A and B are shown apart, each in its own frame.
Chain A
Amino acid sequence: MTTDSQPLSIGLFGLFRSLLSRELSVAIRSPGQWLNPILFFIIVITLFPLGVGPGPNTLSIIAPGIIWVSALLSVMLSLQSLFYDDLHNGSLEQFVLSAQPLSVVVLAKVFAWWLLGGLPLLLVSPLLAILMHLPDSAIPVLMLSLLLGTLTLILVGAIGAALTATVGNGGGILMSLLVLPLTVPVLIFGSGAVQAAAMQMPVGGHLSLLVALLALALSLAPLATAAALRVAVSAG
């Protein structure tokens, strides 16, 4: 067909970039969206010494698990509203009905969300590691595991956010219910890497698995999210 030769004025990367800057401009104007999850992360972690007791030995044993579980919960909390605005103001419908690939839209949103909801966790984690008496040698591994892990969590969580976008009240809880069992591998290898580092055991295996999970999530999760968004839009 001759009409197929109409050039697309914008490449995939250009599209990704403009969507990313759109998401970031929205986020800058509503700072609660990304500030609250990071505060939640810090507060939850400080609750554990108060609940479990301040003994440095106990704390250092549970530290990798606590930090990772808190990161997981904070990401899930922040993800609940990932598609809410765009579904309700009709932007999502425009994305679905455009000729641009929806999975690129999803990737841009996910990446923006990671910059706002994942990267800050990564940056404050050394501070929390010190509060939890995690051995200093484990801190680089903690940060690296969070870097790989939070991105995977957001990619997987986006599927849940898209599936529950049309569910009004209680959609957030439902989303966690769907997604949390699917995030178990990330939790296992993420906290496993930190634990291994704390015990001075090799961490290469754990980190390789986190990279593998991330690569798999990057290539498959946006497809599932895009499919779920089409369903959400068709519900009106």
Chain B
Amino acid sequence: MFKWIHLFGSSPFVYRAASWLAPVFGFGAAVCILVGLYLGLVVAPADYEQGDSYRIIFVHVPSAWMSMFVYMVMATSSAVFLIWRMKLADIVAWASAPIGASFTLIALVSGAFWGKPMWGTYWIWDARLTSELLLLFIYLGYMALRSSIEQPQTAARAAAILAVVGVVNIPIIHFSVEWWNTLHQPATISKLDKPSMHISMLRPLLLMVAGFQLLYFHQLMVRVKTGILQREGRTAWVAELVANNRV
């Protein structure tokens, strides 16, 4: 029944699937982001209180959301790698880390630009921004640990443990930072029953979220391909790919 799952243990299969999926995700991301930007920057009206500066939300919120989502993917695949020793899971975690760190950085920078008109300063130690900064540190720590251990197997397992430890810690960090400074606005879309955002603004926001999600999947596929080639460089099927110039 679960025979298909073994396909994901087969690198050539995953490589071919990723090669096929990468452009599909890339195209979807481009469409969503372009339409979302048009709707958000041109069509959507200005906010009653914040004027045009609220429009940073169309970049800030999707990247902040992705910074969390990518970490969840990283931690889940790390756990899968630790439990079942599935090499693909480790490649996914390895591939996700820099993408997640980039989303976190975008969220921080856009948050700072939003903060200037909102709070009168680029940076205040508000809860959301502070946890985002700590998340960036955790991403950087993960990547630093991976690159400091020479043996790839050891590096992979140590980094996987760190990712799992982080996922237990992140809610605690988030919660404590929230208590430490409860000045930021509550999450806007988390109230699913009644979004307190007007539909003309919500539509482009959701499009941007979908676009960023697809962008992540596109980047993931590209990096997973690289990861597979790096790890399987000594195998016959990679040699064949190279010989046929299809890398």
Contacts and interface: CB of A to CB of B under 8 A. Distances in A.
Interface of A: 159, 163-164, 166-167, 170-171, 174, 177-178, 180-182, 184-185, 188-189, 192, 209, 213, 216, 220, 224, 227-228, 231-232, 234-235
B176 A182 contact: no
Interface stretch (B69-77, B151-159, B202-210): B151-159
Contacts of B180: 188, 192
Interface in B138-194: 138, 140-141, 144-145, 148-149, 151, 153-154, 157-158, 161-162, 164-166, 168-169, 172-173, 175-177, 179-180
Nearest to A179: B141
Given A166-B149, A178-B141, A188-B177, A224 B158 contact: no
A222 B82 CA distance: 17
Q: Which of A164, A184, A209 has the most CB of B within 10 A?
A: A184
Given A163-B161, A181-B138, A234 B154 contact: yes
Contact of A231 (B134, B158, B168): B158
Given A167-B148, A185-B176, A231-B154, A177 B164 contact: no
* Interface SS, A side: helix
B137 interface: yes
Contacts, number: 76
B157 A231 contact: yes
* Interface SS, B side: helix
A171 B148 CA distance: 8
A178 B148 CA distance: 12
A185 B140 CA distance: 19
Contacts of A216: 172
A232 B164 CA distance: 17
A178 B162 contact: yes
B141 A189 contact: no
Contacts of A167: 148-149
Given A164-B148, A184-B177, 18 more contacts: A163-B161, A171-B148, A174-B148, A181-B134, A181-B137, A181-B138, A182-B165, A182-B173, A185-B172, A185-B175, A188-B176, A188-B177, A209-B176, A224-B161, A227-B82, A234-B153, A234-B154, A235-B149
Contact of B165 (A159, A170, A171): A159
B144 A231 contact: no
B151 to A, nearest CB: 6
Lowest 8 A-B CB distances belong to which pairs?
A: A185-B176, A235-B154, A181-B137, A178-B141, A231-B157, A188-B176, A181-B134, A188-B180
Contact of A181 (B153, B157, B161, B173): B173
Interface in B38-83: 82
Nearest to B159: A163
Given A184-B134, A188-B179, A228 B161 contact: yes
Q: Which of B137, B149, B175 has the most CB of A within 10 A?
A: B149
Contacts of A228: 158, 161
Contacts of B175: 185
B82 A213 contact: no
B112 to A, nearest CB: 19
B125 to A, nearest CB: 11
Contacts of B173: 181-182, 184-185
13 contacts: A163-B158, A163-B161, A164-B148, A171-B148, A174-B144, A177-B144, A182-B169, A184-B134, A184-B176, A188-B179, A224-B161, A234-B153, A235-B154
